[in-house]
Structure 1
Amino acid sequence: MRYTSFLFAGSAMMAVLSTTAYAQSGAVPTAPAPAEAQDTTTQNGSLEEIVVTAQKREQNLQDVPVAVSAISSEQIEARGVSAITDVARVSPSLTITENTNATGSSINLRGIGTFSFSIGIEPSVAIVVDDVALLQQAQAFSGLNDIERLEVLRGPQGTLFGKNAAAGVINIVTKAPTKQLSGSIGATATSDDQRRLEGMLSGPIGENVGFRINGFYDDRDGYIRNLNTGHMLNGERSYGARGRLDLDVTPTLDVVLTGNYTNTRSNGQVRTFRSVNSGASVFGAPISGSIVGIEPSDSNYTIRLDTEPLNVSKQAMFTGKATLDLGAANLISITAYQDWRFHFVEDLDTLGTPTLLNTADPTSILPNGSAATASFHAKNFTQELRLVSTGARRFDYLVALFYANGHTDRDYARGPNAAASWEASADTETFAAFAQGTYDFTDTTHLDAGVRFNREKIGATFLNTTAGAAAVANNGSCLAECRGRDSDNQVTYKASLRQDIAEQVMVYASYATGYKGQGFDISTGFTPARAANPVRPETSQAYEIGLKSRLFDNKLQLNLTGFWTDFKDFQAQGGVTLADGTIVPQLSNVGALRSRGVEAELSAKPTRLLRIDASAAYTDAKIREFANAPCYTGQTLAQGCVPATGGSTFQDLSGATLANSPKFKYNISANYDVEFPKLAFDGFITAEWAYQSKVKLDLLGSPISYQDAYGVFNGSVGIQGRDEADFRVALFVNNLFNQHYATSLGYTGSSNAQAVAQLLPRNSRRYVGIRTRVGF
């Protein structure tokens, strides 16, 4: 009851942050000039229309029968949204699990996301950049730059966005060229030693060509101190550039060419100790020697490591989009190629003291312990061809063909303890045809329906290169290269009925089916059996009802959503503990899940100078059937861990709550403009509070994996130019009350004397800074 009360109070009083989206009155210009983009409200202080491309065509947000949050470039700047992890602060039902490197992180909507070690498993939440879906979810963690709009679509979106959108989509739209020559330069400096520079130049080249180029350089020291070396870990250095050309080739043909490159190098994320039991050890070495001078706690930002981590990400993407005006419809072609390389080095034992190669032999000392390294290389080519109707008519339509060919290589090595090394690859080739139409029965009653046929071919190769490996010792793993091939066909569909019940008030009900493709469990322990039996596809059935409204002369926007989604064969990462204590990663199909709840989003402009945005979500996401789930580390028979054949163990997780799915989550933000009539600038004040309830961070239910409820307050004050003066200066604070929280919790050490390790993200501690931007 307490959560329900807060939900309705938040939705009635505050405001959906996400509806502050890309706003412009009516028509959407090809590229708004900077001065036009600074204010998202009309002159009389009311809210403007919000235009989104959530259904692959430009539509008013309030006409789209989808639960979608839209975050404008103004909100991105004002609220300091600079990474994909920041989006969770400003969108209901979105949570992000950060891990020791991006390949272990996951993005979740309404409790549903994908955490997998395998390169052969696609995400449940698709990340789409300028109409192109990223192949590997880890590619999304390279930072955000020069973004026009972020759209978060909640619930299955496979009809339009494909097989990797089973739980939703984060649609990223970058900025287009401006109609007049313009430019800007910005800088950020923080108390935790971040220094960032970014610049942009945009405008026309003659009558028929527009350009936009932007670049950035970001250098941030770490915030976790390694007492062994004195170095600060979890820092990051990155740089990147994007170039775009818009060409009016003929009066009926437009072409957009975009190229983007980012390079990110970090020395984290590392875990620290939250607690250490007496006698805890790793690979025969007592942990006590590695916590000298450290007090394990939920606010511990120190560690001792003998191998410092390294993460390097290099990503390039090239996109060509051509639009041919056929009169009654536009024919659109989108061709893209992406290339992503990633390499990491991690301390495997999380210690800064020697370990033993053989726990029974005290002379088998390993002075530098054990480490793990891996390299990834993903390439993906996509081609989409759409025919989209134009103009106002009783029946609007979109029909399209899609093709994708992706390939990912990975090598992995760890040791000398728990030694394993292998080389693998994953292939996916997709053919799809889809269509969606809108039929207006009357001026107030509308039907939206779509269908997609998807055919996918997948492949995997795996070679076990562990030194001295033997088939028996490695569970029959692939000493000679294992190969797997399979294919699958699937039809998904969606239907929505909308009814306008008053001017600018609409209700809708929808039903959709979702699908995430099958995949190979490519990880340590891969066997011929895995090559012959890919993990089954994940399917879902989703029901949604919603209200979208504009009230009080466009001064209030309130959107409400109720959802109920049943998942079958959900793909979940776990591990099987063998009789010798070795944990072998294993991807499993959970029998059934259910996610249901209520979401509210609100934007209000009570006065010309004050804007309030808020969102709230109550989510009940549970496992309905998972009788043969792996046990968590250290789980006993009394705690439900049951021995099985072959020395493995299992537990029954039926009825358990999903990981990283807080029951209640809300955020409230306010922006107040302060006028200085006698000066050339005005002031502003922003405040934001984001809260989430207690959450379990481990699917398998380890009792130490719960993060207590917490709230974080961010704020800023500053000045910005008025009229022709284009500049902004903001002093800001992140996490004002220094609220510490973890995004990952787990055991380390032996199962009979455990220690708890945590991942504390950068935003889990207070820092202050200044952001400046000057444009022309």
Structure 2
Amino acid sequence: MGYPRLTPRVLRRTAIASALVMASPAFGQQQMLEEVIVTAQKRQQTIQDVPASVAAISAEMLEQTNTTNFTDLGKITSGVNINGGQDGFGGIIRIRGVGNNSFAPAIRPSVGIFIDDVPLASIETAFNNLSDIERIEILKGPQSTLFGREVSSGAIAMTTRRPDTAGVDGYIEGNFGNLGLAEYRVGGNLPLGDTFAIRGSYYHNERDATVDNIITGGEEGEYDKDGGRIRVLFEPSADFSAILSYEFHDSTVVGATAVAQEYGDLYQTLDASLNPDNSLLNVIDPYDDITDHSNPPERDATTEFVYLNVEWMLNDEWSLTSVTGWQDWEFIADGRELTPDGFKTADTTYGPYFLNDFINELDTESFTQELRLSYESDDWSSLIGVFYGDTELDNYTPFSQAIGVFPLPTGPLIIKSAGLSDIRETNEEIAIFNHNIWTVSDRLELTFGLRWSEVEKDDIKGQLLGVGPIADLNSPFVPTTQWADDIPSQKDKWSEVTGTLKANYYLTDDLSVYAGWDRGFKAGGHDVCKDGDNGEPFCPAPFDSEIADNFEVGFKGRFGGTFNWSGALFYQTYDDYQVEVQDEEGIGNTILNAASAEIWGVETDFQWLATENLLVDGNLAYIDATWDDFADAECLRAQYQREACDPVTGTQDLSGADLNYNSPWTANINATWTDSFSNGITWWVRGEVAYRDELFFFPDLDPDLKADDYTLINAMIGITAADESWEVMLWGKNIFDEEYLQEGSRNRDNGSIDFAAAVGGPLPSEGYRVTRGDQATYGVTLKYRFGGG
């Protein structure tokens, strides 16, 4: 079983039973492109039948492009930006320029990520190995009537391979490259009689360090990851199936590869006190493969999922689906200082980033339940669903930061002030949603649906600064413990009615045009409480819900069986857009509501079977994303220094300016040549070009925190056995070693901005750091299959 049967239109137009989404080595020497089957609307349809922009990526495509990590999806799909560490630390996911990152647990993800229909509670848990995946579908724009959890900018739906009773199959794979890269993957299916089957998979990934630490003398960037999945199928008849799944992921990442590009006034002043002969702190070229932390964090993350998918065909027209999920994510980053004294000596060339310590402990546990009742006939398809979710998050972070230097006969003493961030969130949500497709005629289909959502948040969130005055992480937190107990609970509800309305018209059996509207909703939330002037916690007002509207027109066509082409023109508006800004007084990010944001753009993708051997495919997006009204944006670092901000509010007006983390132009163009030897062995060669436009890292559009545009070129060559039992591939990514930046952040080394303003002095300057993108990598992939695995 699977999703409801192929629709009558699909059955009339094609006789296929499975999808080949993008080219694979086995594709060679065919005369026609095959149809693409997706389940974006919870039913099996060709991609042409879906009146929305959908990027579909098959298991074959993942293999051929050597896409093994979640972050790589953003490099093969235009209009999608995915960045973050191997463990998801600092993860950023944006579709059409809209999204958020993992440093603001108060905010719900704008992009929803689903594994076998189960919504992930944290975006970090998506940053795992793409092992034993059947397909990935990226739906662009708000999604309110198809998924249990509503999302405001798009969804990434991953479907894993399901067990079956047909026979034994499996695979063994190794992927080896420079920088000490070693990846191992195994998987297989085992029938247990006619009604039971079990499928399992396991992976292990490791890579050596990529940068040298000039402060500690160690190396950073090394990672070690393990994970696996077990799925048990119970299928007593063709009308009923249940799959119980368990998966786990463990990762350890050593150090951080970001390097300082400028130091702020606080660090510069302290360094001069510590080392007057070398008072000017030098900075590091981000492409020199060195870094300057004296407290590089070691990060450990553990993820567990248990989920149950039940599908019951009640009769030829009605079916019932249940999706039950439980997940737990535990994360700890230990950033305590590793050097004995914590500061450089007089003959050190580079300045250290040594002046804070932290331990970040985070635990997220979530339970979700979704029920869908579906109806399917020749001219009508409908589903009604209910969803319940309960998520609890605990984030405990003691930290300390240098505030001065006290001279002693034995040497300077760094004076630190300690702090504590204590966040406890409970998020409960319920929703009822309905999605309908009415086949008005052989040419016209109407899609419409509604959703009601309610989200309740009960949070205890506080951040205390200035415990000490001389403190470090080895000191007891007696004052902070009592203060944390006094943090008030913040409890609020947000609800909204959203929906969709679309029309899909078939000009011919192979060419359709569509137009539609979607509305999405992202609930409001609470920021952290701070210690007020009277010693009592002060809690800011809740930030508001975000409402997204998407208007889209597009076309999808198959021309002569050798050319597939689709395109879309969209216009999206966001009211009370939730913006993450850096907390200038503490750690983490805080949330502001921009009055509105406006996004419009065009997207297109194609596949062209130029000859029986040559396949050319590609995609392109242009996205113009601006703040329509954002009068209270934070100021730039330089504006603080020049006192160019509003003297009362300390803000600037960014209305009409660009959104951050959006590359206006993104494009991919690929070509694959496939042929075979006389003995049936297939060989193929593939070239890929990916272009990404410039972008700003921060909402204040700081020109120092900006990534230039770049172009990546990849190449692969491989051979496959005639019976596809084995495969060897040589691959290279970023083969010309293009230098580009993937992330930028503030140093938080400017001292207290509020204090400087209070005494009437100039506002201090703040430094910043950047992280380079992946350098040139190359390697070999070996794979053995049996039983068609």
The verdict on a shared fold, with TM-score over 0.5 as the criterion, is: yes
Aligned to 1:595: 599
Asked if 2 retains the 8 angstrom alpha-carbon contact of 1:611 and 1:672, the reply is yes
* Of 610, 613, 616, the match for 2:614: 610
Figure out how many residues of one structure are paired with residues of the other and give that number: 724
The answer as to 2:322 corresponding to 1:333 is: yes
**Equivalence map 1:261-276=2 (5 Å):** 261-274=248-261
Q: Distance in 1 between matches of 2:582 and 2:244?
A: 45
Q: Residues 401-433 of structure 1, C-alpha deviation per residue, up to 9 Å, x if partnerless?
A: 111111111101111435321322111111111
CA separation of 1:116 and 1:129: change in aligned 2, threshold 3 A: closer
Relative to structure 1, is the Cα distance of residues 733 and 493 closer, same or farther in structure 2, using a 3 angstrom cutoff? same
Indicate if the aligned counterparts of 2:144 and 2:433 stay in contact, CA closer than 8 A: no
Could you say what secondary structure the match of 1:270 adopts? coil
1-structure distance, mates of 2:278, 2:620: 42
| Counterparts of 1:80 and 1:638, CA distance in 2 | 48
Partners of 2:444 and 2:279 lie apart in 1 by 66
2:756 maps to 1:757:
no
Say if 2:202 is the partner of 1:196. Answer: no
Against the structure 1 CA distance between its residues 655 and 319, is the aligned structure 2 distance closer, same or farther, given a 3 Å change threshold?
same
2:152 is aligned, of 155, 166, 179, to 166
Q: Does the Cα contact within 8 Å between 1:282 and 1:349 map onto a contact in 2? A: no
Query: Cα 1:528–1:118, aligned 2, differ >3 Å: closer, same or farther?
Result: farther
1:533 aligns with 2:522: no
1:512 equivalent in alignment to 2:518: yes
Structure 2 counterpart of 1:343, from 307, 332, 335:
332
Displacement after TM superposition at 1:193 (Å): 0.6
Question: Which residue of 513, 536, 551 maps to 1:543?
Answer: 551
Closer, same or farther in 2 for the Cα pair 1:488/1:242, shift >3 Å? same
- Closer, same or farther in 2 for the Cα pair 1:415/1:25, shift >3 Å? farther
Q: Secondary structure at the match of 2:187?
A: strand
Contact 2:667 2:692 in 1 (8 A): yes
| CA deviation map 1:456-513 (0-9, x unaligned) | 111101355667489xx99x98661221111122110100011101121000000111
- How far apart, in 2, do the equivalents of 1:467 and 1:480 lie? 17
Opposite residue 624 of structure 1, the aligned amino acid is D
**Matches of 1:290 and 1:118, distance apart in 2:** 37
Change in CA separation of 1:123 and 1:351 when aligned onto 2, cut-off 3 Å: farther
Deviation per residue, 1:183-207 (Å, 9 max, x gap):
1111111111111111112132211
- Cα gap change, 1:345 to 1:156, in 2 (>3 Å): same
Distance 1:493 1:754, change over 3 A: closer
Find the aligned partners of 1:398 and 1:114 in 2 and give their Cα distance.
Answer: 30
What's the counterpart of residue 779 of structure 2?
769
- Kept in 2, the 8 Å contact 1:290–1:352? The answer is no
Structure 1 unaligned segments of length 5 or more: list them: 1-23, 357-365
**Partner of 1:501 in structure 2?**
507
1:56 aligned counterpart, secondary structure: coil
CA RMSD in angstroms comes to 3.3
What is the alpha-carbon distance in structure 2 between the residues aligned to residue 63 and residue 141 of structure 1? Answer: 31
Aligned residue identity for 1:341: E
Partner SS, residue 660 of structure 1: coil
The residue identity in structure 2 corresponding to 1:598 is V
Residues 560 and 311 (structure 1), Cα distance of their counterparts in 2 relative to 1, 3 Å cut: same
State the match for 1:658 in structure 2. Answer: 659
List runs of 5+ in structure 2 lacking aligned partners: 1-12, 346-351, 403-416, 470-478, 751-762
Contact 1:603 1:612 in 2 (8 A): yes
The equivalent residue for 1:562 is: 569
Counterpart of 1:6 in structure 2 is none
Alpha carbons of structure 1 residues 755 and 427: separation in structure 2 relative to 1, 3 Å: closer
What is the alpha-carbon distance in structure 1 between the residues aligned to residue 673 and residue 341 of structure 2?
A: 50
SS in 1 for 2:167: coil
Displacement after TM superposition at 1:562 (Å): 0.4
Q: What is the CA distance between 1:243 and its match in structure 2?
A: 0.6
User: Which amino acid in the other structure matches residue 258 of structure 2?
Assistant: R
- Cα distance change of structure 1 residues 352 and 169 upon mapping to structure 2, 3 Å threshold: farther
The 2-side partners of 1:291 and 1:450 are apart by 64
Amino acid at match of 1:734: K
1:732 Cα deviation after fit: 0.8
Counterpart check, 1:435 vs 2:445: no
CA distance in 1, matches of 2:280, 2:681: 54
Q: 1:623 aligns with which of 598, 622, 627?
A: 627
Give the equivalent residue in structure 2 for 1:406.
391
Give, in whole Å, the separation in 1 of the partners of 2:302 and 2:50. Answer: 36
Shift of 1:271: 0.7
Question: For 2:194, what is the secondary structure of its paired residue?
Answer: coil
Contact 2:567/2:602 (<8 A) preserved: yes
Q: Which amino acid aligns with 1:685?
A: V
In structure 2, relative to structure 1, the CA distance for the partners of 1:157 and 1:283 (3 Å cut) is farther
What residue number does 1:734 align with?
733
Map of 1:306 onto structure 2: 294
Confirm whether residue 633 of structure 1 aligns to residue 637 of structure 2. yes
Q: Greater relative contact order: 1 or 2 (C-alpha under 8 angstroms, separation 6 or more)? A: 1
Q: Aligned-pair distance for 1:313? A: 1.1
Residue 487 of structure 2 corresponds to residue 487 of structure 1: no
2:631 alignment partner, SS class: coil
Letter paired with 2:394:
D
- What does 1:346-385 correspond to in 2, within 5 Å? 346=335, 354=343, 369-385=355-371
Please state how far the C-alpha of 1:291 moved relative to its aligned partner: 12
How far does residue 94 in structure 1 lie from its aligned partner after superposition?
0.4
C-alpha change, 1:113 and 1:378, in structure 2 (3 Å) is same
Indicate how the Cα distance of structure 1 residues 314 and 74 shifts in structure 2: closer, same or farther if over 3 A, else same. same
> How many Å separate the matches in 1 of 2:646 and 2:583?
12
1:137 aligns with 2:137: no
The CA distance in 1 between the partners of 2:707 and 2:307, in whole Å, is 41
Give the direction of change, closer, same or farther, for the CA distance of 1:60–1:696 in structure 2 (3 Å limit). Answer: same
Distance 1:488 1:195 in 2: 47
For 2:754, the equivalent position in structure 1 comes to none
